[in-house]
Amino acid sequence: MLRSRLTLAVVVAAVGLACHGNPQPRPTGPAADVALSVVNHNWQDITILIVHDGVTERIGLAVSASTADFMLPWRYFASRGTVYLIADPVGDPSQYNSDNLLVQPGQQIVWTLETDLYRSSIGVY
């Protein structure tokens, strides 16, 4: 009786350790990509860049008084490092940085750029 309880306890402990040590796999592919909508209320065309893992990459152009839609690969966000967006008005030396972003796979970012870029807002849904 004692031997069977001891064996059962060892098996339960082994199963618990095996389950605890295996992290859930991170999603990949199109379902994990993040949609970015840039609503540009500014009178200038604005180049959109993303900073992730210390690297700056160009996303695209948000033409004045329009909305631009982009798909961002999940790899930009997967490292859990600092990620933020940059609005770089064409022909203007100033730039505007978004707040740091915490995004989950498949979510959407909506960035509304105002005529005064410092009144802009960003949301993750």
Q: What is the pLDDT of residue 102?
A: 93
Residue 120: domain span: 27-124
Location of structure tokens 């840039």: 38
Specify if 102 maps to a domain. yes
One pLDDT digit (tens) per residue for the chain, 125 residues:
555 555 555 555 555 555 555 444 455 556 689 999 999 999 999 999 999 998 999 999 999 999 999 999 999 998 877 899 999 999 999 999 999 999 999 999 999 999 999 999 999 99
The domain that holds 49 is classified in CATH as 2.60.40.2890
Specify if 16 maps to a domain. no
Q: What is the pLDDT of residue 24?
A: 47
Contacts 24+ apart (CB under 8 A), 26-30: 26/74, 26/78, 26/105, 27/74, 27/105, 27/106, 28/74
Q: Per-residue DSSP letters for 11-26? A: HHHHHHHHHHT-PPPP
- The whole-model pTM stands at 0.75
Specify if 42 maps to a domain. yes
Q: How many domains does the chain have?
A: 1
Q: What is the pLDDT of residue 79?
A: 82
